[in-house]
Structure 1
Amino acid sequence: MRIGLYPGTFDPVTLGHIDIIQRAARLVDRLVIGVAINRDKGPMFTLEERVAMVGAECAAIAKTSGTEILVHPFENLLIDCARDVGASVIVRGLRAVADFEYEFQMVGMNRVLDSRVETVFLMADARRQAIASKLVKEIARLGGDVSQFVPAAVDVALRERLARA
């Protein structure tokens, strides 16, 4: 069984993430969405909320793709998470050259840590290349409409969170 790991903070999950998940699901038998616990980034949503949002969006993808999709929170090294879930492939989405430079360094380090785990890059769909969770949160904080960047349920969660803030 080929197991892939698609890691990220998913704060919040965007249509760009969903695009990568849909495409990655066609490449593996099981896709694990690794939701990173990254306290340094100061997430807007709790880990539990992010896991629930990603899980809700992935349920439909799993059903239509026939691929098992699991959501797995993690706080350790990415390569250790890959080992923990039995992944032989790490899936990374690329939007721009700047993403590649960072990811290139990560691949090199991960290859040293465990050469059995491959990294596969999927280019973001042209319509989704500009979407970044950080920018989505900023637009939402300033009262902008982010419905074209996130799933409907995430749009609602963002508006509710900001209304309480």
Structure 2
Amino acid sequence: MAAVGDTGDATTATEPRWLDEKEQEIWRAYRQAVDLFEDALDRQLQGDAGIPHLYYGLLSRLSEAPRHRMRMTDLAVHANITRSRLSHAMTRMEKSGWIRRDTCSSDRRGQFAVLTDEGALLVRRAAPGHVDAVRRGIFDRLTPEQAARFGELCGLIAGGFRDEDDDLPWRR
């Protein structure tokens, strides 16, 4: 049996295709960048608005939606989270007065998340600092060509999961 990191050619159906040294380097650099960037965004939003990055993402998505409302299932898809995690976040944001839930007249089981005036104010207050953190974290570090390529690569990676995986978060 191959040891972790063994890149020998002898792979069987039960053995993983181990990452070679260069792939390990790329993977670790990616993980470090994602972890550090998510932490920076979370710290910025906690400091500026007292909310985690997940909540800001949900609130800002609602702020961009027609009539500031979306079906809960659509919001889960856009946020790439489970319905259970979305429901928990919605409960906390509803208690804070940032959203409300409306029933769907065409589907009694469905619900809409609706951004309140207080939630819209929170998004407007947090947005400048958030966009500054995103700009400093990505766009100020890359040339326009690198940024375009980065976007293409991220889309390619995400698309692969969406096309191949039936166990996507919002389906759980």
TM-score (normalizing by structure 1): 0.26
Of Structure 1 and Structure 2, the greater strand share is in 1
Q: Indicate the structure (1 or 2) with the bigger Cα radius of gyration.
A: 2
Q: Which has the higher contact order (CA 8 A, sep 6+)?
A: 1
Of Structure 1 and Structure 2, the greater helix share is in 2
